[in-house]
Amino acid sequence: MTLLELPSARDESWRWSDLSSLPAIAGRQPAGTVPEALPWIDCGGEGPRLLFVDGKLAAEQSNLGSVELGTVTADPADHALARLVGSDGWKLRLGRDHAPTGLVQIVHVSTGGADHLPSEIELDVDAQASVVETYMGDGWINRLAHIRLLKGARLMLSRRVIGEGGYVSLSDRASVGEGASITVTTLAAGRADTRLDGRVVLAGEAAFAEVGGALLASGKQRHDANLVIRHEQRSGMSRQVWRSVADDAAICSVAARVEVARAAQKTDGEQSLKGLLLNRGATINAKPELEIFADDVKCAHGATVGELDRNALFYLASRGVPRDEAKALLTQAFVADAIDRIGEAAVREAFHQDAMAWLGASS
Residue 361 has pLDDT above 80, yes or no: no
- Backbone conformation region of residue 179, classed left if phi is above 0, alpha if psi is from -120 to 50, else beta: left
User: How far apart, in Å, are the Cα atoms of 182 and each of 104, 221, 362?
Assistant: 15, 29, 32
What is the mean pLDDT of the segment spanning 126-155? 97
Where does the pLDDT of residue 1 fall: very low under 50, low under 70, confident under 90, or very high at 90 and above? very low
Which span out of 75-84, 294-303, 325-334 was modeled with the highest average pLDDT?
A: 294-303
Calculate mean pLDDT across residues 43-68. Answer: 91
Domain range holding 269? 12-306
pLDDT at 363: 57
* pLDDT the model gives residue 342: 92
- 151 near 123, Cβ under 8 Å? no
Residue 353 located in a structural domain: no
pLDDT at 150: 98
Does residue 12 register a pLDDT over 80?
A: yes
Look at residue 312 and tell me if it is in a domain. Answer: no
Question: What sign does the CA torsion over 170, 175, 177, 179 have?
Answer: positive
Q: Does residue 5 belong to any structural domain of this protein?
A: no
> pLDDT at residue 75 above 90?
no
Mean pLDDT for the chain overall? 93
Cα 320 to Cα 60, 307, 308, 313, 315, distances in angstroms: 50, 21, 18, 11, 9
pLDDT tens profile 200-221: 999 999 999 999 999 999 999 9
Residue 90 lies in a domain: yes
Q: How many domains are contained in the chain?
A: 1
Looking at residue 78, its pLDDT comes to 80
Would the pLDDT of 18 be above 80? yes
For residue 268, is pLDDT > 90? yes
pTM: 0.94
Summarize the confidence of residues 312-329 as an average pLDDT. Answer: 86
Q: Is the pLDDT of residue 139 over 80?
A: yes
Q: Give the mean pLDDT of 6-16.
A: 85
Is 4 contained in some domain? Answer: no
**For residues 61-83, b (16+ Cβ closer than 10 Å) or e, as one string?**
ebeebbbeeeebebebeebbbbe
Q: Is the pLDDT of residue 8 over 60?
A: yes
Measured over the CA atoms of residue 250, residue 341, residue 352 and residue 194, the dihedral's sign is: negative
Q: Is 33 among the domain residues?
A: yes
How far apart, in whole angstroms, are the C-alpha atoms of residue 151 and residue 179?
Answer: 6
Mean pLDDT of 246-273: 96
- The confidence band for 3, taking pLDDT boundaries of 50, 70 and 90, is low
Q: Give CA 109 to chain center in angstroms.
A: 16
Task: Give a three-class secondary structure readout of 124-186.
Answer: CCCCEEEEEEEEEECCEEEEEEEEEECCCCEEEEEEEECCCCCEEEEEEEEEECCCCEEEEEE
Q: Give the mean pLDDT of 285-290.
A: 94
Distance (Å, whole) CA 121 – CA 149:
8
Within a domain: residue 337? Answer: no
In a domain, 338, yes or no: no
